[in-house]
Amino acid sequence: MRLKGGHEEINYDATKAFFNNRAGKYNEANPYAVTMYQDNNPELVKQRNAKEMEKLLPLLKLDKNSRVLDIACGIGRWSDAITTEIDKYCGIDFCEEFILKARELNKEKNNRFFFTGKSNEITVSLLNNEWEDKFNRILLIGALVYLNDEDLENTFKQISEVITDSAIVVIREPIGIDERLTLKQHFSEELEDNYNAIYRTRDEIVASMEKTLFVNGFKINDEAFLFDKALNNRKETAQYYFVLER
Ligand SMILES: C[S@@+](CC[C@H](N)C(=O)[O-])C[C@H]1O[C@@H](n2cnc3c(N)ncnc32)[C@H](O)[C@@H]1O
């Protein structure tokens, strides 16, 4: 199903099965395609990854005291990109295969931690792993499209519970340019699988932030489309980012 405008919930078991299948397609020569797709266009994956890091990494203002929580971290693409000295990085993802791969890829770094868990149950995952530190940097990269509205709000609410008073949140999401678009068990030729995702409009995401993050002292410091036309190959959706600070 491909629904424009209306509201329809997606099923997380289907999303989990999709990502388990993606994990099986991991390819050392083009590692980030597992979570960035474009399987047949490794050059585009490389260029998008480079552009994203060039634009967004400086906005995180990392320093040696930074404690980064990467929600829905995949195989730790952002952990790879963080090469400056930080205090700690913790990635959480519900796909166990991705977490195992991320641990393997980061085994030489002693300040990188990867846990299995759901985006909307961050506090539970941290508790289960006896994590006590509060974070001052949050990453939500390509994570919100896989959540229903209620869980999007829960995820935003939980951020406030796991951070210090002063913090930066960087969100990068594909959004519906003119209207909300829901794909539910939609067969994608490109991905050779059924796909489930909710592309919200920019305003829908901000409305959710108002109820959860703004009331907890956050404000948007920066927002824009991430890629220019050359790197965007979709008509209805495009990658967008927000930087929130308090
Ligand atoms: C598009 S990938 C992005 C991965 C990573 N943030 C990156 O930028 O490379 C989406 C990730 O979200 C994870 N994911 C989807 N739904 C989730 C959920 N409900 N809880 C936790 N992780 C989820 C998937 O397993 C996948 O790793």
pLDDT tens for 163-172 read 999 999 999 9
Which residue minimizes the CA distance to atom 12 of ligand 1?
72
* CATH assignment at residue 54: 3.40.50.150
Q: pLDDT tens digits for 108-117?
A: 999 999 999 9
Q: pLDDT tens digits for 42-70?
A: 999 999 999 999 999 999 999 999 999 99
Residue 144 has φ and ψ, to the nearest 5°, of -80, -25
Shortest CA distance to 90 belongs to which of 101, 188, 103? Answer: 103
| Pocket residue to mutate for ligand 1, from 146, 150, 153, 175, most atoms within 8 A of Cβ | 146
> Which residues, 6+ apart, have CB-to-CB distance to 158 below 8 Å?
120, 121, 122, 123
Q: pLDDT tens digits for 63-89?
A: 999 999 999 999 999 999 999 999 999
Overall number of domains in the chain: 1
Give residue 235's pLDDT. Answer: 86
pTM of this prediction? Answer: 0.97
Give residue 25's pLDDT. Answer: 92
> Rounded to the nearest whole angstrom, what is the distance from the C-alpha of residue 71 to the centroid of ligand 1?
8
Q: Is the pLDDT of residue 234 over 90?
A: no
Domain that holds residue 71: 2-245
> Rounded to the nearest whole angstrom, what is the distance from the C-alpha of residue 142 to the centroid of ligand 1?
7
> Rounded to the nearest whole angstrom, what is the distance from the C-alpha of residue 74 to the centroid of ligand 1?
5
Strand partners, 168: 137, 245
Ligand 1: lining residues by beta carbon, under 6 Å? 12, 15, 19, 35, 72-74, 77, 93-95, 98, 118-119, 141-143, 146-147
